[in-house]
Chains A and B, each alone.
Chain A
């Protein structure tokens, strides 16, 4: 994992999961994905008081932002989330990868339209199309599965 690929990391590494050919990496930043959450608790591991289920009870499927001038890093979802990919990181190894991304998400059922910073750490086998791991927003944590829509 010494190969810390800045170029790759800045592209939102999820696409690598379904693309063993790194040659088409220029288009990867705009990839969409299906994200599901499970095992929700508060960030310290104590049982969810309801806030986490409200935020993460349903996952989402990202779509390109309707504003065409919007950068690839901005997404919307069928469920009504507003998502900015605020930082991407991770490492690509020999056939495996890790993703360390941070998102700013406005959840569809939040009447205050509060922006929540969500960290996701996930790992996967290149070619599998799926990465799984954990997420936290400081209030809630849980497991996350990210599936590339590119398959």
Chain B
């Protein structure tokens, strides 16, 4: 049974590698998003909590930004974080989706511009405009919510907005 499951998982990975399902936009929805971290704690009680507060204490927006366009791999936020998608996983189907992504996350506060690997696992309803789940960077963990604040309907109304990054390159 284990072997079968592993085969299945690898198949899923393959499917995800071939279908151009793009990170958050195709799941949470296209448009500006607000990201909120909550219940922030440290993975180890010896770690100074203020590190995590500095990194994740502030809500940030990915607004008027290429992040609102499907396929974008690198975003900066209203608070100056740099977020680069380095791994993408999860599933979509039957009105629901899961996200299992990993990012190179650079916080604007201190730490000399050093980045951390930020793991994000979240779920949501297709069309619901909101994903919630958990995050970890190995030092800090907690809950996370990503919410679409300005649904981008221009796809339907204006064909010229269809600027697929693939055709732009």
Interfacial residues, chain A to chain B (CB-CB below 8 A): 1-2, 4, 6-7, 9-10, 43-45, 73, 87-89, 91, 93-98, 100, 119, 121-125, 132-138, 141
Contact-size category for B: 35 or more
- Residues B66-80 near A (CB distance < 8 A): none
The interface residues of chain B lying within 8 Å CB-to-CB of A121 are 90-91, 96-98, 123
A125 touches B123 (CB 8 A): no
Asked whether B9 is an interface residue with its Cβ less than 8 Å from the other chain, the reply is yes
Tell me, rounded to whole Å, the shortest Cβ–Cβ distance linking B161 to chain A.
Answer: 24
Give the interface of B toward A (CB within 8 A): 1-2, 5-6, 8-9, 12-13, 43, 87, 89-91, 93-98, 100-102, 119, 121-128, 132-138, 141-143
Expressed in whole angstroms, the Cα–Cα distance for A138 and B96 within the complex equals 9
Cα(A45)–Cα(B102), bound, Å: 29
Closest 5 CB pairs of A and B: A121-B98, A133-B123, A98-B121, A136-B94, A43-B95
Residues of B within 8 A of A132 (CB): 132
Q: Which chain A residues lie closer than 8 Å to B13 at the CB level? A: 4
Q: Which of B1, B96, B121, B134 contacts A119 (CB 8 A)?
A: B96
Taking a contact as CB atoms under 8 Å apart, the answer to whether B128 and A45 are in contact is yes
A94 and B96 contacting across the interface, CB-CB below 8 Å: no
Shortest CB distance A76–B (Å): 20
Known contacts A44-B95, A96-B141; A91 and B87 CB within 8 A of each other: no
B5 to chain A, nearest CB (A): 4
The answer to whether A137 touches B89 (Cβ under 8 A) is no
Is A119 a contact of B93 with CB atoms below 8 Å? yes
Chain A residue numbers with a CB within 8 Å of B98 are: 98, 100, 121, 123, 133-134
* B87 proximity list for chain A (CB < 8 A): 1-2
How many angstroms from the CA of A125 to the CA of B43 in the assembled complex?
Answer: 10
User: Looking at the complex, which one of B93, B126, B127, B133 makes contact with A98 (CB distance below 8 Å)?
Assistant: B133
**Apart from A96-B136, A98-B133, A137-B94, 8 more pairs, CB < 8 Å:** A10-B2, A10-B5, A89-B12, A98-B98, A100-B90, A123-B121, A132-B132, A141-B125
Given contacts A43-B95, A141-B94, contact A123 B125 (CB under 8 A): no
